[in-house]
Amino acid sequence: MEPKDLIITKIEGEYAYLSEIGKPENGEVFIALALLPSGVDIGTKLHFELFEYTIIE
């Protein structure tokens, strides 16, 4: 999988909805909060690479 930069657009229960930064036409995906770094919230930017999410500024 290719690396992607994502932003959390909403959180519902135990899931976060993510959109690719700069490519909103790709739609949203949702993922369990347990798979994301601790401390994430709406508006947090993430880098996804090698099946790992890291917080970016």
Burial (CB count <10 Å: 0-12, 13-18, 19+), residue 6: buried
Range of the domain at 40: 4-56
Domain at 46, CATH number: 2.40.50.140
Q: How many domains does the chain have?
A: 1
DSSP state of 24: G
Indicate the pTM of the whole model: 0.89
Per-residue pLDDT of the chain in tens (57 residues, 90 and over written 9):
789 999 999 999 999 999 999 987 888 999 999 999 999 999 999 999 999 999 998
